[in-house]
Amino acid sequence: MSVHNNAKKGDIADFVLLPGDPQRAKLIAETFLTDAKCYNEVRGMLGYTGYFNGKRISVQGTGMGMPSMSIYATELIEEYDVEKLVRIGSCGSIQENVEIMDIILAMSTCTDSGMNKLRFNGNDFAPAANFELIKKAWEVAKEKSINVHTGAVLTSDFFYGESHIKDSFLPWKTYGVLGIDMEAAALYSIAAKYNKKALAILTVSDHLLKEQAISAEDRLNSFKEMISLALELA
């Protein structure tokens, strides 16, 4: 058991999918896995272990934001010996050609969070995806004819921008950043700290330039392509 997880040692597979929404973890366990068992309900942050094509995998909700992701990723690695961590999340697009429901493989992450500034004494760190995982994800996407974008994302502490900072995402857009989430940089940083493998796969749930968005229900139910791609990485 860890502070935020009541799984026993051995209950969690060495490959874990990490949705922000614990209900997405439940849906994945119920619709994609066989023989899935719930191992965690602490704070409603559901976690399950089951099988996909004979491979043992777990799926664990992480909550929203870098601190929450950091807690779950750290405990999964330190207490449960997890080796591969794949975030399956939603994000907002900040590029014209990255449309609603498109999938992004996050090669690298920028962040406006202070967490890594604190860790690195005011200096920058470059949180990046594991090459083996992103290469495999790209190959699986090609095999399954899933169109994916690869590139940088911004992991932000903000979901709602401040009205006095107009179009705060424009510098990131200019420098080619594809979209905005709230956890990928934390996952890549924790994975780097422990020399583990991590990847964030994101589906675009809203478009900041076009002011389009899908509903919360669609966010929960319509990420099947991303999930089927992520499951192949086990």
Ligand X SMILES: O=P(O)(O)O[C@H]1O[C@H](CO)[C@@H](O)[C@H]1O
Ligand Y SMILES: O=c1cc[nH]c(=O)[nH]1
Q: Would you tell me which residues interact with ligand X (CB under 6 A)?
A: 19-21, 64, 89-90, 159, 181-183
Please report how close the Cβ of residue 60 comes to ligand X at its closest, in angstroms.
12
Using CA atoms, how far apart are residues 38 and 59, in angstroms rounded to an integer? 9
Closer residue to ligand Y (CB): 92 or 127: 92
Smaller CB distance to ligand Y: residue 226 or 234? 226
Structure tokens at 174: 């200019």
Judge whether 94 and 175 are in contact, CB under 8 Å.
no
- Using the rule CB under 6 A, is 102 a contact of ligand Y? no
Tell me if residue 131 falls in helix, strand or coil. Answer: helix
Smallest distance from the beta carbon of 54 to ligand X, in angstroms?
27
Return the one option of ligand X, ligand Y, none that residue 92 interacts with (CB less than 5 to 8 A, by type).
ligand Y
* 81, 181, 206, 218: the active-site residue: 206
Task: Give the per-residue SS3 of 133-177.
Answer: HHHHHHHHHHHCCCCEEEEEEEECCCCCCCCCCCCCCHHHHHCCC
146 binds, among ligand Y, ligand X, none (CB under 5 to 8 A by kind): none
Strand pairing category for 47-52 and 55-60: antiparallel
Q: Which is nearer to ligand Y, 40 or 111 (CB)?
A: 111
The nearest distance, CB 91 to ligand Y, in angstroms, is 5
Q: Should residue 159 be labelled a site residue for ligand Y when binding is judged by CB under 6 A?
A: yes
Would you say 11 or 21 has its CB closer to ligand X? Answer: 21
The bridge status of strand 197-207 relative to strand 103-111 is antiparallel
Assess 92 for contact with ligand Y (CB under 6 A).
Answer: yes
If one asks whether residue 200 binds ligand Y (CB under 6 A), the answer comes out as no
The answer to whether 206 is a known catalytic residue is: yes
Q: How far apart are CA 66 and CA 111, in angstroms?
A: 10
- Could you give the residue numbers annotated as active site? 206
